[in-house]
Structure 1
Amino acid sequence: MSVLDRLERIGEFASTYFVVWVVLFSGAALASPATFTWIEPYITPLLGVIMLGMGLTLQPADFTRIAERPRDVAIGAVTQWLVMPVAAWAITVALSLPHELAIGVILLGAAPGGTASNVMTYLGKGDVALSVAITTVTTIAAPVVMPAWVVALAGEQLQVTFAEMFTSIVQVVLLPVIAGFVLRIVLDRYAPRLAAAGLSIFPAISVAAIVAIVAAVVGLNVENILTAGAVVLLAVVAHNAIGLGAGYGVGRASGMSPERVRACTFEVALQNSGLAVALATAYFSPLAALPPALFSVWHNVTGPALATYFSRQAVRTPDSPRAEPADD
């Protein structure tokens, strides 16, 4: 077995059992908080590593696809930009969440799509090219869209300005994604084997980074989890369910093919919870980071479950056209 094959197996193993690692290390953080709380100052750099990995997965062809299918990309992106922030605000009002928890839910709702949506779209036999395109658009627009929504929905309660949040998102999201994208182009041209090795091992690195972030947040919130864990989990479950329902409903109503409906479903509902955690920790408090941290666990439960259902539905209707994920 070659080194590249071993790296691919490590990456696949880490990704396949992602939710297991999150649950295990979250439990360990509850039992021994001090083992993980030291990670708090490194949450933002760890997110930068994750976004660098996302950039490595992008290719010029992904941006070509955006130009080729602007309608469906726009529908998916706009649905996420509108539904998830408004749903987050409505949930905080309906549940009368305390200020810091409400900020965390709103940050989560305003976040761009996460790479988990691309994986779930692939597993659910959806249109992976469309999924990648929507994730790319929402991520690139995040420095403007995310702080705009947070200021609009929680402006009177904020101690941070639009400009400060814009700068942070550019630094921890946009610049690493661009760096990864440029690095991928250079490696593909001059060191293709190294590029392949990087793509093989980065899933495992991303999983490790996300697990570390979630464990740190859990360790910092042990008392809060024991006292407010149920209501936060209810908010997270409701938010994710609204996103899944809205993504599916809008996809169907707009006349998308079944494969694109699946992609739209995941794109709307699966947020970049790591970014929300990083911003909550940097500008607010560990308590504000709790909702997006729990969301990271929950959407990795509902995502695979729905992907399995979609996959079985696709097998039952094999005559419908399907986008090939191999191009991504």
Structure 2
Amino acid sequence: MGINSIFKLKIIRILFLFLVGLCTTISIFFDLETWLIVNFEADKIPIFGFHNIINTQNQKSSYGLDYKKQDLAEFLEYLVRENYWFLDTDQLYNYFLTNSQPIPTEKIGQKAILLTFDDGYKNINTNVLPILEYLDQKYNQKVKVVLFVNPETMKNPKKIKKYISCEELKIGINKGYYDVQSHGFSHKRLTELNSPELKIELEAAQQVLRECTKELDNNQTIATHLAYPYNDSNSQVENYTSKYYVSGYLYNHQILKLGWGKNNYKLPRIKVDRNTTPSRLIEIAEISSSVKKEERRFLGWRHFNIFLNYL
């Protein structure tokens, strides 16, 4: 091999090592900036997860996730007085997760929040709906809440006394208070199902909920989002979920931070139990960011601009 060939190989090797080093430096820099932006600058939206709501004047708590009607009323009235924006699942998805629609001008400056209730207990209608109606009448503000429902309970005569019926769901939807979404058909642990069983559990839930509410849901916004039963998911569950739903919710005691690299099938929720005081809920709610006027951009472009300035 001639001297010129050896020299060329050395130059190529040096260029290759330089490019590898440059790519590694950029990667580290971008990861650091991502972490800083997501944790310190990213907009934050708390998503609260409730279960059964009980009236302690005539009901006893038998479940660690039961929550007092009186405490819920205190929390909701605070949010209404402070002019929070009560998102539904489609608004969160369209305005904040995908930026597919512009944020309404009248919402600029408000703090956004999402309130969810799992399992579709009948007490939603008897204990929660009256609070929503009271707040609507007193403050002229409609509070929208998300119900993650297992529709199998609506068809099971043995469960209808404990869980909400189709007709009761339609009452809340008709009044503009309920955003009804899926919690699986029969609350099975999705990670333990084989592919055909998983398909049935996800598809049947969507079909039954939409059949129940078809005259109220021309745009088919009902049952487009899923909360995983037993807070259990994996890659197979996410893959099948994506065939029927546009997002999935998990409990991980974190606040949703809008930023780069978010998985819409692992949206974080904060689980509320009987020991969570209204003051604690208020503290978490106050972490919510005020909705900004400027259009949100993909953070990758921000990283690129930061990198150019850094150079």
- Shorter-chain TM band: under 0.3
Larger RCO: Structure 1 or Structure 2 (Cα < 8 Å, ≥ 6 residues apart)?
1
**Structure 1-normalised TM-score?**
0.26
Greater per-residue strand proportion: 2
Q: Which structure has the greater CA radius of gyration?
A: 2
